Amino acid sequence: MPVAVRSIETAVPSTVLEQGRVRDLFGSQPGLTRLGQRINGAAFDASAIETRHTVIAELAAVDPANGQATDLAVDPAAEPASGTEPPTFYDASSGRILTPGTGARNDVYIERSVPLLLDAARRALAAASDLTAADVTHVVTVSCTGFSAPGPDYRIVRDLGLSPATKRYHVGFMGCYGAFPALGMARDFCRADPSSVVLIVCIELCTLHLRSSSDPDAIVASSVFADGAAAAIVTSRPAPPGVVTLDIDALETTLTPVGVGEADMAWTIGDQGFDMVLSSYVPHIVEHHIDDALAPVFATEPALAVTSRAEAIEHWAIHPGGRSILDRVQQRVDLSDEQLAPSRDVLRRYGNMSSGTVLFVLREILHGPDVGAGERVCAVAFGPGLTVETGLFTLRGAPVAGAPALVGASATPRAEVPTDPEEAR
């Protein structure tokens, strides 16, 4: 019995940051060097991002030029800070981005990650119409932007009313490829026990660690990273007729050669948040090693070598770590604009949400208008190391291309969760 992804659902904070205004906010910070200002403008303008989401409500109504109320973040539901508590991330009176310590940032993670991860999990369960919370046997959570114990796995079991005997696992601090180890664990659980139902939830609040700096790596991070959650149901139980699912055919992992990329992408804990190293050489490294990285997963099906990879696989879910990465992969693998459209669309609307981002892209494919039964999907994500995770999937239950299809219960719109936990209750 094949193991399949039965549903994928996502959630984002309700505070929406417009890229141009975020660029101006970071570019106006005191202490930024002239070179830093130029890099800031270039990085934001070349990002191919229009909007991102954040749990930082202080950014919901701030003019970077004068600190007055405006629509820096287009969020009609958000309330401006009341002024009863000192600001944590942004001081509107001075127009400065603040530098809270790691503990303060992690406190916000603990508080504001919960509504997002629970919403995504509930929606994934609802989309798998024949399954309920009582069917879930395993929970796998993924995050690299905060820590707590009990953690997100515990909150899912308690708040969703899962059995206290549910087996819980957490994939921590692996970065943008973290969804792949979670999918691999879920597949293995279902192979060992075909009655298993695994709930995967990725939750990342990357914007908690953004800061003003003239350092190029910090500027690039500020220009691309965002907040979001994604959840998936994985099982080998048969799906109802007409429901589009993704068979997990193969999952592989590889590293770039020794000495290549290890120092160019890293994620460490500092005194003022987590420190991202994301050098300008990463797109170059990805371009020159993507063929070798794809080789193991394609080797699982020699028949795919008959034609080019772009022709053999109809749909591609490339982790949108940045515009340059997508450009280099598209050129190297010879993918069409249509094949890269889901990845570019997620990047444009949501930015890079670390581990859950590739699930956002897979959801776009599942809900696309032209999915057909038997069509293939290749997913790829990159992370510290430099690590490359790959997966091959087959669409099942889909009608012929262009005909209507169900994905889970329905093709529901993506949820936006209030930034304030009180609003979410």
Among all chains, which residue has been given the structure tokens 């028949």? Answer: 303
Distance CA 148, CA 335 (A): 41
**Going by C-beta distance under 8 Å and a sequence separation of 6 or more, which residues neighbour residue 387?**
174, 175, 177, 253, 254, 255
Distance CA 120, CA 175 (A): 19
Q: How many CB atoms lie within 10 A of CB 396?
A: 16
**Going by C-beta distance under 8 Å and a sequence separation of 6 or more, which residues neighbour residue 410?**
127
Residues β-bridged to residue 199: 139, 233
Distance CA 277, CA 266 (A): 5
**Going by C-beta distance under 8 Å and a sequence separation of 6 or more, which residues neighbour residue 288?**
none
- 176, 202, 206, 378: which is the annotated catalytic residue? 176
Residue 200 backbone dihedrals phi, psi, to 5 degrees: -105, 135
Here the tokens at position 363 are 């959801």
Distance CA 337, CA 207 (A): 29
For the chain, the first-to-last Cα distance in angstroms comes to: 40
Residues β-bridged to residue 422: none
Q: How many CB atoms lie within 10 A of CB 126?
A: 16
What's the maximum distance between 2 C-alpha atoms anywhere in the chain? Answer: 66
Residue 163, SS3 per DSSP: coil
176 in active site: yes
Write out the E strands in 156-296: 167-172, 197-205, 227-235, 245-255, 265-270, 273-278
Among all chains, which residue has been given the structure tokens 């450009």? Answer: 327
Q: Taking the alpha carbons of 278, 180, 115, 228 in that order, is the dihedral positive or negative?
A: positive
What are the catalytic residues? 176
